Structure 1
Amino acid sequence: MLAPAPRDPRPTVPADAEALPDMTRAYLESLQLLERMHRLMLDLVKDEFERPRHGDLTPVQAMILYNMGEAEVSAGELRSRGMYQGSNVSYNLKKLVAMGYVHHERCDLDRRSVKVRLTPEGQAMREMVRQLFIRHAEGLAMSGVLEDPPLPQVNLQCRRIERFWGDQIRYIY
């Protein structure tokens, strides 16, 4: 079994949150946890790539490779799939092409559009990230962390929040 998570000395919700309803406080804490978990995940990926001397690849670039998978996609598709902001995708794709991890090709029908796919080197880097995540999943499963509440239930709740946020953005525009 894993040891309980250490208590973070920083408050997990703003000091004035005590007056808020329990569910609101829990939501605010979830937002902070999501942000910290995302940063930790990027740090884990960074550590994984620094060990075998692949320090040229940033964690965000490694996640782009991972999320591209076997598909041939456009930068817009990557933006809609992942956690990437507009110009960052273009910048990172240019870097990935220059490093030889991604092949790009202009679309025949729309010359402004570029399709990208992983090169064999990019596929090898993607596999490194995939193996890292598999090792983590196996370790978490053995520790029992993923059982209470069951991770599929947690994922369902996260998808509902994601859908709510997406609806809020669409409502604004």
Structure 2
Amino acid sequence: MPQRNPSPVRPVPALRPVPATSRTDAYLESLQILERLHRLLQDIVKDEFERLGRSDLTPVQALLIYNLGMSEVTAGELRSRGMYQGSNVSYNLKKLVELGYVHHERCEMDRRSVKVRLTPDGQEVRERVADLFARHAEGLELSGILDDPAIEAVNLQWRRVERYWMEQIRYIY
């Protein structure tokens, strides 16, 4: 019996650069695209968990679990690893502890700080998100979307923007 591919790769229409009236316009368009991508990522995670019949987690909480990974970190370290637009990381961590996805304990060296790590249930959620991302990466690879320009070059450019922004923040303070 032939197996069905659960997420068929659909051809993506080619997009052509739209000439911006200025570099500033192109930069502002990039910022809007990033915002939309972030919201879409949350929608994708939400849809995946709905398909799995799981309504106990928000997309932000699932992404927090994913970014926590197999590490044991403080809430501040976790906040710096991911984008949690419009969310309170401390509140979401508290909810994840209540739901049994995250274990927390006070640091021995600094009792004000709390270290967090995934429970076995949290590890299972992380695997679901990792599977989702792997399926999408495979689909994007097969479609050629990651090739022109190469995703590595795009990532390099965004890391440069990130560094520039960080320098701007340091300059202000």
TM-score over 0.5 for the alignment?
yes
Q: 1:3 aligned to 2:16?
A: no
Residue 44 of structure 1 aligns to a residue whose secondary structure is helix
Unaligned runs of 5+ in 2: 1-9
Q: Which residue of 1 aligns with 2:4?
A: none
Q: Which residue of 1 aligns with 2:160?
A: 160
**Deviation at residue 87 of structure 1 after TM alignment:** 7.3
Q: Give the total of aligned pairs.
A: 162
Q: Which residue of 2 aligns with 1:131?
A: 131
Cα gap change, 1:32 to 1:85, in 2 (>3 Å): closer
Q: Which amino acid aligns with 1:50?
A: E
Kept in 1: contact 2:106–2:113 (CA 8 A): yes
Kept in 1: contact 2:105–2:116 (CA 8 A): yes
Cα gap change, 1:85 to 1:138, in 2 (>3 Å): closer
Residue 4 of structure 1 aligns to a residue whose secondary structure is coil
Kept in 1: contact 2:69–2:126 (CA 8 A): yes
Alignment of 1:31-50 (within 5 A): 31-50=31-50
Q: Percent identity?
A: 70
Q: Which residue of 2 aligns with 1:121?
A: 121
Measure, in 2, the Cα distance between the counterparts of 1:5 and 1:170.
Answer: 40
Measure, in 2, the Cα distance between the counterparts of 1:41 and 1:61.
Answer: 13
Residue 88 of structure 2 aligns to a residue whose secondary structure is helix
Measure, in 1, the Cα distance between the counterparts of 2:161 and 2:37.
Answer: 16
TM-score in terms of structure 1 length: 0.88
Cα gap change, 1:40 to 1:5, in 2 (>3 Å): farther
Q: Which residue of 2 aligns with 1:111?
A: 111
Q: Which amino acid aligns with 2:13?
A: P
Structure 1: which 4+ aligned runs deviate by more than 6 Å? none
TM-score in terms of structure 2 length: 0.88
Measure, in 2, the Cα distance between the counterparts of 1:120 and 1:72.
Answer: 14
Once superposed, what is the RMSD of the aligned Cα atoms? 2.1
Measure, in 1, the Cα distance between the counterparts of 2:85 and 2:167.
Answer: 18
Q: Which residue of 2 aligns with 1:62?
A: 62
Kept in 1: contact 2:12–2:143 (CA 8 A): no
